[in-house]
Chains A and B, each alone.
Chain A
Amino acid sequence: MEGRTSDDSHLVDRLRRGDARAFDELVTAYQHRVFSVALRMLRNRTEAEEVAQEVFLRVYRTVAAFRGDAKLSTWLYAIASRLCLNRLASSDRRVTREGDETLTRLASGDATPVDELERSELEATLHRAIAELPEERRIVVVLRDLEGLSYEEIAAALDLELGTVRSRLHRARMDLKEKLERFLP
């Protein structure tokens, strides 16, 4: 596993010392990544924001117990993933489709109307395809292909064997390949 970057290491030290500005910097630096994972997993902005907020509050409360051998980002992804999977596992979770609509609105800015339409159709299909994956495969593909984590980081964040990460990711991608076939060149 990669060691912590010196910046993150410094940030963790400051967080441990209770430096108020360090927490501010942490939230600013990681808010989009943490929220992104939560939204991809939960497909609902309100729930995603609740979970993302809880991730940072947990970091705030437990930074003293943070193991120095893991990367700060991996730790954040680990907490975010666990909270999302727990929430998805709770039987009486209210299922909404709001997230699909929200994600579709993320079409790129400077495209012709036709491009934009195609783009948004592709985006919608992509998000639906990701959303339909079983949860334990979805989190792996989100962390790898949308967030860019290494296999080792995913294994650490989800507490899985490397082989399990590899096979879940492969199955997820095969699944997505079939669903996205018409967009593939």
Chain B
Amino acid sequence: MTCDEARARLSALLDEALGPDERGPLEAHVATCVDCRRELGLLRNTVALLQSVNPVRAPAGFADRVLAAARPAPWYRRLQRALSLPWSVKLPLAAAAALLVGVAVAHLLEMAPELQRAARVESPSPAVTESQEPPATPTGAPGQKAKAESEPATRERREGRARDLADEATDATRRRDLAKAAPAPAPATAPERKAESAVGAAAPAREPAREGARPDAATSRRSALRTAAAADVSGRLVVTDREAAARGLTELVARTGGAEVAKSAGADAMVIELTIPRAAWSEFTRELAALGAWTPDREPAELPAQVRVALRITE
């Protein structure tokens, strides 16, 4: 065995990783060659130095962070937390939403006669129950007749209710117009109307503004929910300045060839939805970490060609 051949195997000799057919000749060579023996000694000491290195420990809290990242709270709960509002705001919001649904249903029934018919078929009208014969009598002509009779009555009632609602709306508009056009109460105005006009145009003006704000809030909340559900990757970006981060993000998206799909800002969080090409994904996440503390909640192992990202930016 030559010295070159011997030295190439010295590491493996130290690690006892040689088969007997290699170890025998090598040990024989080292026993007789001073230079190779010296080399083996130096290598042994080098390995001993390496093995004496103090072990590295993971930073404090690392395990907790991993566990939290692996088992995040469901996205809807996190979003709920992010968008949570005090009850003093939530209750009127809920009431406004209920009212809105009621008005929308009435409006829909008025607009679509086929829905009215469907509603009638599904729920037997009270008139039918009242005019029904005792159970012994088979369902026959009298019952059907009663039902047939009750139909126009029901329709009339429903239509009447819808008309009332519509009339109320037009009344309100008319009242506002009147209040604007003529500051003095018209002679025909009832006493309660007088009281209303006394507070002046302020009340009607405040009302539409409030009504406008409620559906907006509900819509943005709904769109945020949709965003989080459709994204491939979602996560939280904690920044010091939300506006600056949003600007940085816009630049980053442009740089990586991505596109901004949607953006909605809440009281304490801004939700931005983006698409980023997969090729630029690692660059994007790296640069994102420079904008703030980025914690992905969900990131699949296989990314699509265009990665849909939902970012919740908080301060």
Contact with B56, one of A92, A106, A126, A177 (Cβ below 8 angstroms)? A106
Whether the pair B11, A126 counts as a contact (CB closer than 8 A) is no
Q: Which residues of B contact A176 (CB under 8 A)?
A: 46, 50
Contact with A49, one of B62, B282, B286 (Cβ below 8 angstroms)? B62
Min distance, Cβ B221 to any Cβ of chain A, angstroms = 29
Interface residue total, chain A, C-beta cutoff 8 A: 55
Whether the pair B11, A170 counts as a contact (CB closer than 8 A) is yes
Binds A, one of B64-72, B89-97, B106-114, B230-238: B64-72
Min distance, Cβ B222 to any Cβ of chain A, angstroms = 30
Whether the pair B17, A184 counts as a contact (CB closer than 8 A) is no
Whether the pair A180, B49 counts as a contact (CB closer than 8 A) is yes
Contact with B11, one of A20, A28, A107, A166 (Cβ below 8 angstroms)? A166
Whether the pair A57, B69 counts as a contact (CB closer than 8 A) is yes
B10 CB–A CB distance under 8 Å? yes
Whether the pair A27, B63 counts as a contact (CB closer than 8 A) is yes
Instruction: Please encode chain B, from 15 to 27, with 1 for each CB lying within 8 Å of some chain A CB and 0 for all others.
Output: 1010000000000
Whether the pair A173, B67 counts as a contact (CB closer than 8 A) is no
Q: Which residues of A contact B289 (CB under 8 A)?
A: 46, 50
Whether the pair A39, B56 counts as a contact (CB closer than 8 A) is yes
Q: How many B residues touch the partner, as a band?
A: 35 or more
B32 CB–A CB distance under 8 Å? no
Whether the pair B43, A31 counts as a contact (CB closer than 8 A) is no
Give the complex CA separation of A141 and B53 in angstroms. 13
Chain A residue at minimum C-beta to C-beta distance from B63 = A27
Question: In chain A between 20 and 69, which residues have their CB closer than 8 angstroms to a CB of chain B?
Answer: 20, 23-24, 27-28, 31-32, 34-36, 39-40, 45-46, 49-50, 52-53, 56-58, 60-62
Give the complex CA separation of A61 and B56 in angstroms. 26
Chain B residue at minimum C-beta to C-beta distance from A28 = B63
Contact with B53, one of A45, A90, A126 (Cβ below 8 angstroms)? A126
Whether the pair A62, B50 counts as a contact (CB closer than 8 A) is no
Contact with B54, one of A39, A60, A123, A150 (Cβ below 8 angstroms)? A123
A166-B65 contact in complex given A20-B71, A123-B54, A180-B49, C-beta closer than 8 Å: no
A146 CB–B CB distance under 8 Å? yes
Give the complex CA separation of A122 and B48 in angstroms. 13
Chain A residue at minimum C-beta to C-beta distance from B10 = A170
Whether the pair A62, B59 counts as a contact (CB closer than 8 A) is no
Chain A residue at minimum C-beta to C-beta distance from B295 = A53
Contact with B67, one of A23, A61, A62 (Cβ below 8 angstroms)? A23
Interface centre among A57, A130, A141 (most CB of B within 10 A): A57
Contact with B46, one of A62, A107, A122, A180 (Cβ below 8 angstroms)? A180
Contact with B17, one of A31, A107, A151 (Cβ below 8 angstroms)? A151
Whether the pair A32, B55 counts as a contact (CB closer than 8 A) is yes
Instruction: Please encode chain B, from 39 to 82, with 1 for each CB lying within 8 Å of some chain A CB and 0 for all others.
Output: 00011011101110111111100110111011100000000000
A167 CB–B CB distance under 8 Å? yes
A40-B54 contact in complex given A58-B301, A122-B49, A184-B46, C-beta closer than 8 Å: no
**25 residue pairs A–B, Cβ–Cβ below 8 Å:** A23-B67, A24-B63, A32-B57, A35-B56, A36-B58, A52-B58, A52-B62, A56-B70, A57-B66, A92-B283, A144-B15, A145-B47, A145-B50, A145-B51, A146-B51, A150-B17, A151-B12, A151-B17, A170-B9, A170-B11, A177-B46, A180-B46, A181-B42, A184-B45, A185-B45
On B, residues with C-beta under 8 Å from A are 8-12, 15, 17, 42-43, 45-47, 49-51, 53-59, 62-63, 65-67, 69-71, 282-283, 286, 289, 299, 301
